[in-house]
Amino acid sequence: MGVAVRDQLTGREHEIHARTVVSCQGPWAHAATCPFGAIGSVGLLRSVNLILPNAGLECAIGFPPRDDAGRPNTDRLLFAVPWHGLTMVGTWYFPSAEDQDRLTVSREELSSMLCELNSGFENWNFRGSDVLMLHIGQQPLHPSSRSGPQPIDAPLIAESDSFGGPRRAWIVQGEKWTTARATAQKAVEIIARHSGFELARSVSSRKPLYSAPQELAGFTASAGASASSDDDENLRYSLRHEMVRTLPDLLLRRTNIGAAGSPPPEVTKRISKLAASELGWNESERLRNVDAVHTHSMYPHASITDQI
């Protein structure tokens, strides 16, 4: 039992052997070529959160969207959350797109989201130009939801032979960012009981897995930071210790410099040169990484289309 993998950065292929393999492939577990068996009986939907300018919230709030007559839709709630000095709002669900490698929303879908969002507060009037970033993912579709497309109630954890795949290979789908650790723990416990594994006691439910030096706290928490040359040491720390491999990885995940929109070209250029010196990129690799930032699918100009 094991998997053959290809390193997308180097092109090298490797074989990894194990007693049990767990696939967290997300929507790619539905592909006909998936070695774990395609989950043909489970549909997919797109889940979308909007990143907007700071709306002045002091805590997370839930609110029902309203129709044109002002009547609340009691079947669902939207949530608005303070997020790194900005506001995150969601979650909306739409039928799945055909291209699972490049998720987008249509202008009509964006318009409907903004209408529902603005209906919740009299003084909110967000427009398409206010959208700084979109978080778009795919989740398994609830087979019998009565209030439009909705995700399954609980994560799917199943041995892949249920879907035509091999035994001792498992599929985990439907986890959310806020519940991913709990889903991982549940999956490990189920697989251990089924396979007869003995589990060592884990303390990561109470103890952080990793903590950056205290001096990095202000840097990593500031979305849309200008990243002046004074921040070079913080960037070098991320490049050397946080397994950064691409410029979007550095600007959108390890730091929040790109969280408030695509950084200005001069900022991206300066940081790309720092990354190139640390990671050994040649000039063509540096330019390819710069282009990957400015065309990243999280930004509205790349993720909003005329149609799906």
Residue 276 CA to residue 285 CA, distance in Å, equals: 8
Residue 287 burial class via C-beta count within 10 angstroms: exposed 0-12, middle 13-18, buried 19 and up: middle
pLDDT tier, 284 (very low <50, low <70, confident <90, very high otherwise): very high
Instruction: Give the pLDDT of residue 302.
Output: 61
Instruction: For residue 220, give the CATH number of its domain.
Output: 1.10.8.870
pLDDT digits (tens, 9 = 90+) for 140-184: 777 776 667 777 777 778 887 777 777 788 888 776 767 788 888
With CA atoms as reference, report the closest residue to 85 among 120, 62, 56. 56
- The answer to the question of residue 257 being in a domain is yes
Phi-psi region of 133 (alpha: psi -120 to 50; beta: other; left: phi over 0): beta
Q: Locate the DSSP E strands across 57-168.
A: 61-63, 78-83, 86-95, 105-106, 133-140, 156-159
pLDDT tier, 208 (very low <50, low <70, confident <90, very high otherwise): low
Q: How is residue 66 annotated by DSSP? A: B
Q: What tokens appear for 107 in the block?
A: 């202008």
- The answer to the question of residue 253 being in a domain is yes
Q: How many domains does the chain have?
A: 2
The range of the structural domain enclosing residue 247 comes to: 214-302
pLDDT digits (tens, 9 = 90+) for 59-81: 998 888 877 777 877 777 889 99
With CA atoms as reference, report the closest residue to 133 among 11, 45, 27, 251. 251
pLDDT at 86 over 70: yes
Q: What's the pTM?
A: 0.72
Query: What is the pLDDT of the chain when averaged over all its residues?
Result: 79
pLDDT tier, 98 (very low <50, low <70, confident <90, very high otherwise): low
CB atoms under 10 Å from CB of 93, counted, come to: 20
- The answer to the question of residue 95 being in a domain is yes
Q: How many residues does the chain have?
A: 308
Instruction: Give the pLDDT of residue 223.
Output: 45
pLDDT tier, 14 (very low <50, low <70, confident <90, very high otherwise): very high
Residue 291 CA to residue 293 CA, distance in Å, equals: 5
pLDDT tier, 215 (very low <50, low <70, confident <90, very high otherwise): very low
> Do 137 and 60 fall within a single domain?
yes
With CA atoms as reference, report the closest residue to 136 among 269, 303, 308, 256. 303
